Amino acid sequence: MEQIVVIVSFLALFAFIHAKLQYELHMMQLNSYRNKRYYRWLRKYLFEQKRVVELIFCIIIALVFFTKINYATVITVIVLYSFLSYSYFSKKQKKPLVYTKRAKRLYVALWILTLTPIIVTAVFLGVSEKTALIGCGIIVFSFLIIGFANIILQPVEKKINNWYYKDAQRILKQMPELLIIGITGSYGKTSTKHFLHRILSEKYNVLMTPGSFNTTMGVIRTIREYLKPTHQVFIVEMGAKQIGDIKEICDLVNPKYGILTAVGEQHLETFKTIENVQKTKFELIDSLPPDGLGILNADYEYIRNKKVDNCKTLYYSTQTTESDYSVANIKYSKKGAAFNILQKTDNIGEFETKLLGDYNLSNILASVILAGHLKVDLENISYAIKKMVPVQHRMEIKKNNNGITIIDDAFNSNPVGAKMALNVLKNIEGTRKIIITPGMIELADKQDFYNRIFGKQISDACDYVVLVGKQITQPIYEGLVETGYKTENIYIAQNFTEASQHISKFVKSGDVILYENDLPDTYEK
Give the whole-angstrom CA distance, residue 440 versus residue 518: 9
359, 387, 415 - which closes a domain:
387
Same-domain status, 355 and 476: no
Give the whole-angstrom CA distance, residue 515 versus residue 229: 41
What pLDDT does residue 145 have? 92
124, 156, 188 - which closes a domain:
156
The answer to whether residues 136 and 61 touch, using CB atoms and an 8 Å cutoff, is: yes
CATH of the domain at 326: 3.40.1190.10
Residue 170 lies in a domain: no
Residue 296 lies in a domain: yes
| Full-model pTM | 0.81
pLDDT digits (tens, 9 = 90+) for 53-78: 767 766 666 666 655 555 565 666 66
Same-domain status, 197 and 344: yes
Same-domain status, 400 and 383: no
Same-domain status, 423 and 374: no
Confidence at 140, pLDDT banded by 50, 70, 90:
confident
Residue 380 lies in a domain: yes
Residue 171 lies in a domain: no
What pLDDT does residue 241 have? 84
**pLDDT surpassing 90 at residue 95:** no
The secondary structure element, H or E, covering residue 466 is strand 464-468
Same-domain status, 333 and 211: yes
pLDDT digits (tens, 9 = 90+) for 112-137: 998 888 787 777 766 555 566 666 67
Give the whole-angstrom CA distance, residue 314 versus residue 306: 13
pLDDT digits (tens, 9 = 90+) for 403-435: 898 988 887 788 888 888 898 888 888 889 999
Same-domain status, 333 and 453: no
Query: Residue range 470-474: average pLDDT?
Result: 88
CA neighbours closer than 13 Å in the CB half-sphere of residue 99: 4
The answer to whether residues 432 and 511 touch, using CB atoms and an 8 Å cutoff, is: yes
pLDDT digits (tens, 9 = 90+) for 42-54: 887 766 666 667 6
pLDDT > 90: percent of the chain: 57
Spatial CB neighbours of 52, under 8 Å, sequence gap ≥ 6: none
More reliable by pLDDT, 18 or 76: 18
Q: Is 348 helix (H, G, I), strand (E, B) or coil?
A: strand
Same-domain status, 326 and 243: yes
Residue 168 lies in a domain: no
Confidence at 482, pLDDT banded by 50, 70, 90:
very high
Residue 38 lies in a domain: yes
pLDDT averaged over every residue in the chain: 87
Number of domains in the chain: 3
Give the whole-angstrom CA distance, residue 261 versus residue 214: 15
What pLDDT does residue 481 have? 95
Same-domain status, 362 and 231: yes
At 237, phi and psi to the nearest 5? -80, 135
Helix axes 142-173, 35-45, angle to 10 degrees: 140
Same-domain status, 190 and 213: yes
Running DSSP on this structure, what letter comes out for residue 97?
A: -
Structural domain that includes position 485:
396-516
Same-domain status, 3 and 113: yes
DSSP codes, 99-147: --HHHHHHHHHHHHHHHHHHHHHHHHH-SSHHHHHHHHHHHHTHHHHHH
Residue 161 lies in a domain: no
Query: Residue range 247-256: average pLDDT?
Result: 98
Residue 469 lies in a domain: yes
CATH of the domain at 512: 3.90.190.20
Give the whole-angstrom CA distance, residue 486 versus residue 462: 11
Same-domain status, 188 and 272: yes
What pLDDT does residue 390 have? 81
Distances in whole angstroms, Cα of residue 269 to Cα of each of 367, 447, 459, 464, 496: 30, 10, 28, 31, 24
Same-domain status, 417 and 506: yes
pLDDT digits (tens, 9 = 90+) for 171-219: 999 999 999 999 999 989 999 999 999 999 999 999 999 987 899 999 9
Query: Residue range 463-469: average pLDDT?
Result: 94
